[in-house]
Chain A
Amino acid sequence: GESVGLHLPTLSVQEGDNSIINCAYSNSASDYFIWYKQESGKGPQFIIDIRSNMDKRQGQRVTVLLNKTVKHLSLQIAATQPGDSAVYFCAETRGGYQKVTFGIGTKLQVIP
């Protein structure tokens, strides 16, 4: 069945370094992808999104890359800060926002 998963359950990076969080999806019909950040004890927060007709989108310190050929999505965080420590989820939808399928998540730990 369709699934969205993450390659690394935990990622530790030094403060100031760049972080790359990866995600694989299996449904080629997915047309919209989202990254969420979830801090401990809180609900997930939208970070950045990308449509399937794009391969790159940049935000403030974050970049999402989409490779439809290998069904791979990544989130790059530049100059990682302690406040970036959280669990990051990728998610996908097909045909709208009605149903969103989430991956398990990657825990990002920033080492001061």
Chain B
Amino acid sequence: SQTIHQWPATLVQPVGSPLSLECTVEGTSNPNLYWYRQAAGRGLQLLFYSVGIGQISSEVPQNLSASRPQDRQFILSSKKLLLSDSGFYLCAWSGPKTQYFGPGTRLLVL
């Protein structure tokens, strides 16, 4: 069966520091992968999606970037975090019916 992992689970970072969140998927090949951000009490905002290695589409302008160095690995990065980057970051992959989500990473920028 397919599983999706994210780490770290929680992260507290100072403003201006770099960021690297990792997502990996097991049990499937060549999945479409997605990064979402969820602000407290809000809905899901699509940040990036990828249909293959090295292929990244950005949905919103921001100081975040994404990379897909391997088929089942999706990384969300920032060179300098802003306070507004705080939130719950979710990785997802497209399965047989819909998108399936990882457990999320809660990021707090202070």
**Which residues of A approach B to under 8 Å, CB–CB?**
32, 34, 41-46, 49, 89, 91, 93, 97-100, 102-105
Contact = CB atoms under 8 A, between A and B. Distances in A.
B32 interface: yes
Contacts of A105: 42-43
B100 interface: yes
Contacts, number: 48
Contacts of A41: 104, 106
Given A43-B101, A46-B100, A97-B94, A102 B106 contact: no
B35 to A, nearest CB: 12
Given A43-B90, A44-B90, A97-B98, A104 B103 contact: no
B104 A42 contact: yes
B43 A98 contact: no
What is the interface of chain A mostly: helix, strand, loop, or mixed? loop
Given A42-B104, A91-B98, 13 more contacts: A43-B90, A43-B92, A43-B101, A43-B102, A44-B90, A46-B98, A97-B32, A97-B94, A99-B46, A99-B49, A102-B44, A104-B42, A105-B42
Interface string B74-93: 00000000000000001010
A104 B42 CA distance: 6
Label chain B's interface by main secondary structure.
strand
A77 B51 CA distance: 35
Contacts of A45: 101
A62 B57 CA distance: 35
A89 B43 contact: yes
B17 interface: no
B43 A43 contact: no
